[in-house]
Amino acid sequence: MTDKTKMLKFVVSPDNYLIADIFNKIEAEGVLIEANKKSIIAAIEEGRFFEAFGDDIKIADDMVQKIEESLKKQIAGMISLANKSGSLICGFDKIKSKSTKIEFIISAKDGSKAGKDKIKTNNVRQFEVFSIDELDRILAKENTVHIALLKGKIATNLLKLIESLDFFEN
């Protein structure tokens, strides 16, 4: 049995488009599909949405991409909020000095492997979600390679989003 938190509900909009209820806010009956790219693509290819909702629904060609973009946008917003609230620290030395207070680390996808290995500390989880340029834009900084989230509610909520994205991508 699949964990319900790893499922994504799909519903049909009033204009007959299939939409993903990513944040489980739409009060409508829908179809649950495992929340990862492979399962969603398979459901489209196998016609499961047409079986559930009828042949007249429309499925956007970029629906899967838009789901991923929406998750990343939500993560970026949470990172920005964490930064403004003081729940985020940037830079190798600062991260190392606060290692016991860190919930997890986000390293840029295009950062060096040596740097990522060097910043690992105390079994703290490390994720790669954005590039250096993307982190720079989110934080309005330059050359952001590593950020760390301090333990707390923001970090907990952000971790759930990152885990959802990780599950979606893999």
Same domain? 75 vs 150: yes
Among 56, 69, 80, 67, smallest CA distance to 135 is for 80
Among 86, 140, 85, 82, smallest CA distance to 106 is for 82
The residues facing 34 across adjacent strands are 7
Same domain? 78 vs 105: yes
Token look-up 């952001």 returns 144
Whether residue 89 contacts residue 95, with contact meaning beta carbons closer than 8 Å, is answered with yes
Residue 2: pLDDT band by 50, 70, 90 thresholds? Answer: low
pLDDT tens track for 27-48: 888 999 999 999 999 999 999 9
Q: Which domain holds residue 18?
A: 4-60
pLDDT tens track for 104-130: 999 999 998 988 888 887 688 999 999
Question: CB-side exposure of 105: number of CA atoms within 13 Å?
Answer: 28
Model's pTM, two decimal places?
0.89
